[in-house]
Amino acid sequence: MKRKVAFFALILSLSFNSWGQNLVPKPAIALKENTLSAKPANGPVSKSSRTEVKTSKPYKIIIVTDSEAYSKASEFKNYLITKPPFSRMGDSLQIELVSMDAEKMNCKNDHPSSPRIITCNRDLIYKTQSNYDAHLSLAFTSKGSGGAGGDIPVASMDYPIQTMFHEMLHTYGLDDEYDYSKSEQSVYCESPVSSANVVYFKDTPPYKTDSLARSKHAREVHWMGQIPIKQLITSGSDLGSQSLVKMNIGLQPLGLFRGGSCNNEALPGWRPYQSSIMKGYEDDTIYPIYEEAILRNIESAVGRKTTLPPAEHHCVHNKPSIEVIKNLGQEIDSALKKIPHPHNHQH
């Protein structure tokens, strides 16, 4: 797995000159360079102005953790930097582990109606976030069991590593893609609102053809234009892509699948993939729809557009043959030693 990521990184870095350097947020650089080139008398960009350019702030996440949960928090940091867009952010991402006293964090399961929800000392975590000049805080705890989304994602150390990622994506505005139980729906689903990954609308069968169904619901399904023609959004005359018995993890097709959060007979919910990190942990791949939602959040937090190297999934289409990979083996290993590797950056 690690080797595969490294290989993609190499392919990307070979295709894009000085990729490592370009990972510094591009808009900031472009602006600076324009300003500089307007004054040719200054000659080449001096060392000091380069330093100045680099001070354009990265997106910063702090992972607050008590001492018992520290290794889980550290494991999560390593996991997160393998996931797009974080895997491609290089120097424009900073993740820092922050130790905090478990008593002070005060995390506990104190919602009798939702026993898996954990809350912590938000005021203290916010204060710490501000001291560290960070954009987002995550909290890992050895106290309590479960997780919570909201403005500070929380996860307990006894839950799978994907739990924190799932909660984090709630913070970025993504909704659960599994159906809530009747009692949960009575609490959370008074007036369901469509989001980046779950949309609500009433279907109107029968649908004569797939393309008629597409044009009829194009406005309600914002990812409709990206669904491949081969991937039907109807099953017979009903709306909804058919689920496969065996999913192709990491390569699932985008479609229109019934279900998600407040889905019910009166107001159906629809989601983009058969399974995703927001439905369960079977496939925790970050598909483009999720990546876009994350990026939009990061951009609004740092107040500028983020330009990243092309997505890794683009490589799927021009994957080199096994023979080529075998022969490249030696070269890759030696080349990797020389290339500054964004995936290995420690902050």
Of 2 and 182, which has the nearer Cβ to Zn ion? 182
66 touches Zn ion (CB under 5 A):
no
For Zn ion, the nearest residue by Cβ is 176
* Least Cβ distance, residue 283 to Zn ion (angstroms): 15
Q: How far is the CB of 214 from Zn ion (least distance, A)?
A: 29
Identify which of residues 169 and 227 has a Cβ nearer to Zn ion in the complex.
169
CA 58, 64, 70, 73: dihedral to nearest 10 degrees?
-50
- DSSP-based three-state secondary structure for 319: coil
Measured distance CA(25)–CA(90) in Å, rounded:
9
Q: Select the span of 40-48, 170-178, 190-198, 222-230 touching Zn ion (CB under 5 A).
A: 170-178
Residue 252: closest CA among 222, 280, 221, 284 = 284
Closest CA to 258 of 284, 291, 282, 235: 235
C-alpha distances (whole Å) from 270 to each of 193, 215, 285, 340 are: 12, 16, 19, 42
Residue 194 beta carbon to Zn ion: minimum distance, rounded to whole angstroms? 17
98 strand-pairing partners:
64
Q: Length of the chain in residues, anyone?
A: 347
Q: Is 284 in the site for Zn ion (CB under 5 A)?
A: no
Q: Where do we find the tokens 């989304």? A: 149
Q: How far is the CB of 44 from Zn ion (least distance, A)?
A: 52
Minimum distance from residue 302 beta carbon to Zn ion (Å): 25
For Zn ion, which is the closer residue by CB, 176 or 291? 176
Residues that bind Zn ion (rule: CB under 5 A) add up to a total of 1
- Does residue 282 contact residue 247 with C-beta atoms inside 8 Å? yes
> Taking CB under 5 A as the rule, does residue 176 contact Zn ion?
yes
Nearer to Zn ion, 19 or 180 (CB): 180
Closer to Zn ion by CB, 174 or 227: give it. Answer: 174
Residue 175 binds Zn ion (CB under 5 A): no
- Quote the tokens at residue 28: 């900031």
- Min dist. Cβ of residue 162 to Zn ion (A): 11
User: How does DSSP assign 54-69, residue by residue?
Assistant: HTSPPEEEEEEE-GGG
Interface ranges with Zn ion (CB under 5 A) = 176
